[in-house]
């Protein structure tokens, strides 16, 4: 019987462009999220002792940026490829390697901390409550470093406006660095698509 396995190693350029196009889309989404976060920061004066009045808009923008980054991460470094046949899983593994070779993603973009900050919240909270009974948790907060609500807390969600670090339980992600990594990936994906545009029509 002939070998019917598809191979991402010989994937058509048009198909490669489909995956890279999604990375470009996520770059656009990340830009929108960053603009929303910057607008919120410029709008509010954050007192040291409390969250800004529209704290949810800060956290929503941060989560949108993290989600865009997590989507790119899953495209270029899929977890276990649990779904599909062995052929599909093999294709996915090879395809991801091909995309990583093209965009050379930042290690931060591949970090599981990025995905964990927006995924599996319930399971991760289960783990904290079971392993650390009696732990003091703070639901959601946006603050500057040194504020009353900053020191010694374990956050379900927290945005440190001094460092622009987003924390969710035991995971912390520097948003500026993450944004830069997403933009770099998006720009490299765009450059590849542009360079191969003649063969994509």
- Structure confidence by residue, pLDDT tens digits, 151-160: 566 788 888 8
Q: What are phi and psi of 163, to 5 degrees?
A: -105, -10
40-54, 78-92, 94-108, 126-140: range with highest mean pLDDT: 94-108
Rounded Cα distance between 141 and 167, Å, is 10
Predicted local confidence at residue 10, as pLDDT:
59
Instruction: Answer whether residue 32 shows pLDDT above 90.
Output: yes
Give buried/exposed letters for 18-33 (b at 16+ CB in 10 A, else e): ebbeebbebbebbbeb
Q: How confident is the model at residue 149 (pLDDT cuts 50, 70, 90)?
A: low
Predicted local distance difference test score (pLDDT) of residue 137: 82
Residue 26's pLDDT band (cuts 50, 70, 90): very high
Checking if the pLDDT of 6 tops 70, the result is no
> Could you tell me the two tokens for 88?
């599909």
Query: Which one, of 130, 132, 119, lies nearest residue 173 by Cα?
Result: 119
Higher pLDDT, 60 or 135: 60
pLDDT at 161 > cutoff 80: yes
């Amino acid at each position: 019987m002939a070998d019917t396995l598809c191979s991402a190693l010989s994937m058509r350029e048009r198909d490669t462009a489909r995956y890279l196009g999604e990375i470009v889309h996520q770059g656009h989404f990340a830009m929108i999220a960053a603009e929303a976060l910057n607008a919120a920061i410029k709008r509010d004066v954050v007192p040291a002792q409390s969250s800004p009045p529209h704290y949810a808009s800060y956290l929503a923008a941060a989560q949108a940026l993290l989600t865009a980054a997590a989507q790119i991460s899953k495209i270029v470094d899929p977890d276990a490829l649990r779904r599909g046949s062995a052929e599909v899983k093999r294709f996915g593994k090879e395809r991801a390697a091909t995309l990583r070779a093209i965009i050379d993603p930042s290690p931060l973009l591949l970090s599981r901390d990025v995905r964990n900050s927006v995924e599996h919240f319930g399971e991760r909270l289960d783990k904290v409550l079971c392993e650390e009974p009696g732990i003091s948790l703070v639901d959601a907060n946006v603050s500057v470093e040194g504020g009353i609500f900053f020191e010694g807390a374990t956050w379900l969600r927290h945005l440190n406006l001094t460092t622009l670090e987003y924390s969710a339980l035991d995971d912390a992600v520097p948003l500026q660095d993450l944004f830069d990594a997403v933009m770099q990936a998006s720009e490299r994906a765009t450059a590849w698509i542009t360079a191969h545009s003649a063969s994509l029509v």
